[in-house]
Chains A and B, each alone.
Chain A
Amino acid sequence: DQQVKQNSPSLSVQEGRISILNCDYTNSMFDYFLWYKKYPAEGPTFLISISSIKDKNEDGRFTVFLNKSAKHLSLHIVPSQPGDSAVYFCAASGGTGANSKLTFGKGITLSVRP
């Protein structure tokens, strides 16, 4: 079963507008959430993270929101730029042992149109 879900495989946004990427999770043990960005032929690059004790974390144009009751998080990119076009992975971890590893969603391909 997929514990981290990114239900939309792709998103297209106009340059300068807001991009909202969504992610849902099912495992209540997850307490740390991350977003990674990946360009073709490169490894994922860490973007931003949030601990379960917070509901929002901001870093420049990137903001991650966490709704624990709904087991949902989202990444907002404002304003979107063409260089943001990439695959975005949501990941979660928590607990000890096997749960401390990162569990990834399948990714969302973001295209920012000039």
Chain B
Amino acid sequence: KAGVTQTPRYLIKTRGQQVTLSCSPISGHRSVSWYQQTPGQGLQFLFEYFSETQRNKGNFPGRFSGRQFSNSRSEMNVSTLELGDSALYLCASSTTGVSTDTQYFGPGTRLTVL
């Protein structure tokens, strides 16, 4: 079974631009969560989607948004990029997204904002 895939793997943007990241979950997984990893803060939860609906949201500004399609693929969008948005963005999928459901991570998208 193929793992979680994320595209692109690397991105360089400038301040003020917007960016869209994509995540394809493991086949059969309906829950997709997004995380931001920075050296200072570790992994921080952005949001979770299940059956095309945002089910949980972390403490990030409204510039960070996402969506999920009927095939469970998910996209994350960041508008008006800031230097502090430079990070590794990880998505994880699980079968149902309940707390005891193991999440499997993709390799991440490294975003650099100049």
A positions within 8 Å CB-CB of B: 31-32, 34, 36, 41-46, 49, 51, 89, 91, 93-107
Contact = CB atoms under 8 A, between A and B. Distances in A.
B105 A101 contact: no
Given A43-B6, A44-B90, 8 more contacts: A32-B99, A43-B92, A46-B103, A46-B105, A95-B99, A99-B99, A104-B42, A105-B42
Contacts of B42: 89, 104-107
B56 A101 contact: yes
Contacts, number: 64
Interface string B83-99: 00000001010000111
16 contacts: A31-B100, A32-B100, A43-B6, A43-B90, A43-B106, A43-B107, A44-B43, A46-B103, A49-B102, A51-B100, A97-B56, A101-B48, A102-B35, A102-B45, A102-B103, A104-B42
Contacts of B48: 101
A100 B99 contact: yes
Nearest to B48: A101
A44 B99 contact: no
B26 to A, nearest CB: 12
A101 B33 contact: yes
A94 B4 CA distance: 23
A110 to B, nearest CB: 16
B99 A94 contact: yes
Interface string B35-61: 100000111110010000000111000
Interface in B2-47: 4, 6, 33, 35, 41-45
B97 to A, nearest CB: 7
State the 6 A-B residue pairs at the shortest beta-carbon distance, nearest first: A43-B105, A106-B42, A93-B99, A104-B43, A100-B99, A44-B105
